[in-house]
Structure 1
Amino acid sequence: MVAPLPTPTPGPNQAVMLSMIHMLDVKDGWAVTTDSHVLHTSQGVFQWQDITPPVQDVSSVFGPAVFLDAQNAWIAVLVRDKVSIWRTYTGGDFWLETPLSVDGSSVTNMSFVDEQNGWLLLNTDQPGTDLTEQPVAVFRTMDGGANWYRIDSSQPVGAGIRNVPPAAGIKSGISFHTPTEGWVTEVSTSDNRNVLYHSQDAGYTWSAQSVSLLAGKAARSFPPQFFQHDSGIMPIELNVDSHPIVMCTTVDGGKTWTGSRPAAEITSTVSFINILHGWAAGNSRHPGTIYSTDDGGNTWQVAAQLGSALVSITQLQFISPMDGWAIGISKNMENQLYLTLDGGKTWNQSSSYASI
């Protein structure tokens, strides 16, 4: 057994810029900085502790992360063509490393349904791979990340069913709702390509899934988010100029999806707290605008303006009808953190500090 490695002792307190944030409540959460430091807080977004995994190689590149609760987190780290998954079950006080058995260029993302069961998509493309293709390998863990097993194979499994999503199309994510039900989403550059693949056996086999409003359209789908009673929502972005966003909903655990195409000029940067109530960022014509919906994304209203200094909003996260955070990029290309306490009606810019 590999001994856990302690997080290095932090240095003096300094201002940090966040590239992503994942809050569990108004005090507890995780974040990643623009210079790849992993942070943890139990004091709100103003003060953070640097708990970056002690990766020794200076050429390392940090990839996607999953922050399950206040103690459990996983992050992918690439060192040249070698990928490792670092994990903590102590809130970042200690980290353990598990190398993957297959070389890859990057991890698209990871998905965990509890402390033990997780999946990841490893990009296995090599130099010379067509730019419209992305061969992937599916890995699974059943012991919290201590071991990762490749579960796809090259054996045929039947008409319409694949052991891994096809190489054609750039993959945008993998998402599991239960230990058996999962989805792989992708970008289609062709008008007759699928953008959604469904597994009902923990990721061992996959079949294409259709979505209304998408027939004959090139599109990009994003990993679905699920709520109580098998309800879920999934944004899809069409390759069209006007009103490209389709909000897809399910009430049967993802077996079927119904899409609506709202008139609001929003992007796929969304955050929902249930199947009805959500928020979205405005598109390039409204880069500092926050929209809200109370009917599952069919209609949207302007909730607030974050200001004309932003060129885009890259992340939204709400944890309740009142409490939310946004990360925007300013015209001088600096990340700015905003928070709201009234459901997105008013926002305040927040500074963040960490001992790094």
Structure 2
Amino acid sequence: MKHFKHLLLLGLLSGAALAAPALKDVALVSPNVAWGSSQAGVYRSTDGGQNWHNLTPDLRGDRLQGAFFLDADHAWLTATAPYDAKGQALRPTRVLRTADGGKHWKSVALFPRGGAGIKFTDARSGTALVELGAATGHTAFVLLTTRDAGATWHKVNSAEYGYMPDPELKGGTLPDVSGPNAFTLLPRFGVLTGIYGPLDQPYLFITHDGGRSFQEGAGLVPYTPQEKQTAARTNVVWASGDWARLSSLSQPAAGASALRIFWTQDAGKTWKGSAALNLPPRSRAAVNFSDWAHGWLWVQGSDEQFKALPTHLYRTSNGGKDWRDLGAMWQDEDLPTASFFGDQFGLALRYLGDQPRELWRTADGGQTWQRLP
């Protein structure tokens, strides 16, 4: 595939910085450096989120679809082209990447069509899940990987052909995927979670050959019989090397919800689990881990009339074995999107219905928060 550079549209980078733009995602990659994305572009802050520079590359009329931010220098974007009158993409789906903090971008074709979500485990190793469509309750994904920072991509697997008769799916064995962020692939193993599947246990699959084949993995995780019946979703909340942590929220029809953390240190061969943290009935939860030990849990329950209760924030310093309630945060319609670095620093996007999302920062591990302009 042919590579070519896109020089950065310098814009505000050489002038005054922006206050916090209307972001949909945020990633804090050091105590002071943060990336953010919106439907309109990509932004970077070097003062902990106080001010932002617009680093959006030339998209050539394509739509910015997804973003992944690894550190202060490395970021990847996906861009999808418009469709013609026959429903064909005018250009292939592309990946744009930078290795110098957004000063320069390179672009490469990823796949002939489809929306893509990307994820990197280091500066060279990444995965892309390209969605081709949906049929009969299944979503068709193609799995691609890169080992050269996104310069070249190779097809590894796809959804099964029978669900959607697309030539790109022939020979595929990829289990049902609920979305691009549901798959984490490390050098020695990978974990795929989802919400679909006629299984009497949580939806979890493991690969040890780079995504070419999968085995059902929930049987390896020490779920209780009740958790197997009531687990709403299992998510990968942190992974590196041979280690990974999962979060699992159980939501019985009646009674308290419960959250447990499961972990492996041998590439998914054996798993251990924490004690259950009891939560309000009908809870929704979002878990963020910044490293193996430090994590944060956002919880929003509801009353008997299903009215949302105030969001509480919990913190762990031992990998989820124990949680400390930091108190009620906000009375909002939804859980915030958050990103943490180390054990002290974090950014959170607060949802306010149809209003622009507010950006908040903590420098003491979540105990206190400051709204950014």
TM-score bracket, shorter-length normalisation: 0.7 to 0.9
Q: Which piece of structure 1 moves more, 315-324 or 253-262?
A: 253-262
2:85 is aligned with 1:99: no
Conservation of the 8 A alpha-carbon contact between 1:65 and 1:75: yes
- How far residue 89 of structure 1 moved from its aligned partner, in angstroms, is 1.5
Partner residue, 1:243: 257
Q: Write the distance in 2 (CA, Å) between the matches of 1:224 and 1:253.
A: 15
Deviation per CA, 1:290-331, whole angstroms, max 9, x where unpaired?
A: 1123443344332143333x3333222221222222211125
Partner residue, 2:167: none
Q: Write the distance in 2 (CA, Å) between the matches of 1:336 and 1:122.
A: 31
Conservation of the 8 A alpha-carbon contact between 2:196 and 2:203: yes
Q: 1:48-127 maps to which residues of 2 (within 5 A)?
A: 48-57=52-61, 60-80=62-82, 81=89, 82-104=92-114, 106-107=115-116, 109-126=117-134
2:287 is aligned with 1:277: no
Aligned partner of residue 193 in structure 2, secondary structure? strand
Aligned partner of residue 198 in structure 1, secondary structure? strand
What are the ranges of 5 or more consecutive residues in structure 2 without an aligned counterpart?
A: 83-88, 162-170, 303-308
Q: Write the distance in 2 (CA, Å) between the matches of 1:323 and 1:13.
A: 22
- How far residue 49 of structure 1 moved from its aligned partner, in angstroms, is 1.1
2:216 is aligned with 1:208: yes
Deviation per CA, 1:211-265, whole angstroms, max 9, x where unpaired?
A: 332534564232341258x443112344645415442222333323334532034
Q: Write the distance in 2 (CA, Å) between the matches of 1:26 and 1:76.
A: 26
Match of 1:343 among 346, 365, 368: 365
Q: 1:14-25 maps to which residues of 2 (within 5 A)?
A: 14-15=18-19, 16-25=21-30
Deviation per CA, 1:170-218, whole angstroms, max 9, x where unpaired?
A: 34522123x2321222112645366222121222222221133253456
2:277 is aligned with 1:262: yes
Q: Write the distance in 1 (CA, Å) between the matches of 2:18 and 2:44.
A: 15
Partner residue, 1:133: 138
Q: 1:291-302 maps to which residues of 2 (within 5 A)?
A: 291-302=314-325
Conservation of the 8 A alpha-carbon contact between 2:17 and 2:51: no
Q: Which piece of structure 1 moves more, 137-146 or 269-278?
A: 269-278
Q: 1:315-334 maps to which residues of 2 (within 5 A)?
A: 315-334=337-356
Q: 1:38-57 maps to which residues of 2 (within 5 A)?
A: 38-57=42-61
Q: Write the distance in 2 (CA, Å) between the matches of 1:288 and 1:87.
A: 36
Partner residue, 1:192: 200
Match of 2:147 among 142, 149, 158: 142
- How far residue 140 of structure 1 moved from its aligned partner, in angstroms, is 0.9
Deviation per CA, 1:16-63, whole angstroms, max 9, x where unpaired?
A: 122221112122221113x33201122321111111121121xx3323
Question: Cα distance 1:56–1:153, how it changes in 2: closer, same or farther (>3 A)?
Answer: closer
Partner residue, 1:159: none
Partner residue, 1:354: none
Q: Write the distance in 1 (CA, Å) between the matches of 2:287 and 2:208.
A: 26
Aligned partner of residue 74 in structure 1, secondary structure? strand
Q: Write the distance in 2 (CA, Å) between the matches of 1:284 and 1:76.
A: 35
- How far residue 147 of structure 1 moved from its aligned partner, in angstroms, is 1.2
TM-score (norm 2): 0.79
Conservation of the 8 A alpha-carbon contact between 1:71 and 1:88: yes
Q: 1:223-234 maps to which residues of 2 (within 5 A)?
A: 223-226=236-239, 230-234=242-246
Q: Write the distance in 1 (CA, Å) between the matches of 2:250 and 2:142.
A: 26
Conservation of the 8 A alpha-carbon contact between 2:251 and 2:257: no
TM-score (norm 1): 0.82
- Amino acid paired to 1:314: P
Conservation of the 8 A alpha-carbon contact between 1:222 and 1:235: yes
Percent identity (aligned): 22
Partner residue, 2:185: 176
Q: Compute the RMSD of aligned alpha carbons.
A: 2.9
Q: Write the distance in 2 (CA, Å) between the matches of 1:69 and 1:181.
A: 23
| Matched length | 334
2:59 is aligned with 1:36: no
Partner residue, 1:151: 156
Question: Cα distance 1:115–1:298, how it changes in 2: closer, same or farther (>3 A)?
Answer: closer
Conservation of the 8 A alpha-carbon contact between 1:323 and 1:342: yes
- Amino acid paired to 1:264: L
2:4 is aligned with 1:3: yes
Conservation of the 8 A alpha-carbon contact between 2:188 and 2:267: no
